[in-house]
């Protein structure tokens, strides 16, 4: 079990070395995806409101 946790820790440490190379790209990607889902959800809520549903 200890070897598994050590390997998992090494993997996560390796992934953190990639983050500076990616710069701000992942943040922009997640912001765009969340914004898109937000507007989709607001559209669905407006559609239900116009149909008289609560």
What's the confidence (pLDDT) of residue 53?
86
Give the model's pLDDT for residue 54.
74
The owner of tokens 């440490």 is 13
Residue 19 has pLDDT above 90, yes or no: no
46 vs 54: CA distance, rounded Å? 10
Model pLDDT, residue 51: 94
pLDDT of res. 3? 96
CA distance 34 to 27: 11
Q: Is the per-residue pLDDT at 10 higher than 90?
A: yes
In the chain, what percentage of residues exceed pLDDT 70?
Answer: 100
């Amino acid at each position: 079990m200890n070897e598994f946790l050590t390997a998992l820790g090494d993997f996560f440490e390796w992934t953190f070395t990639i983050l500076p190379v990616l710069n701000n790209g992942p943040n922009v990607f997640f912001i765009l995806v969340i914004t898109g889902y937000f507007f989709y959800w607001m559209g669905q809520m407006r559609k239900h409101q116009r149909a008289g549903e609560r």
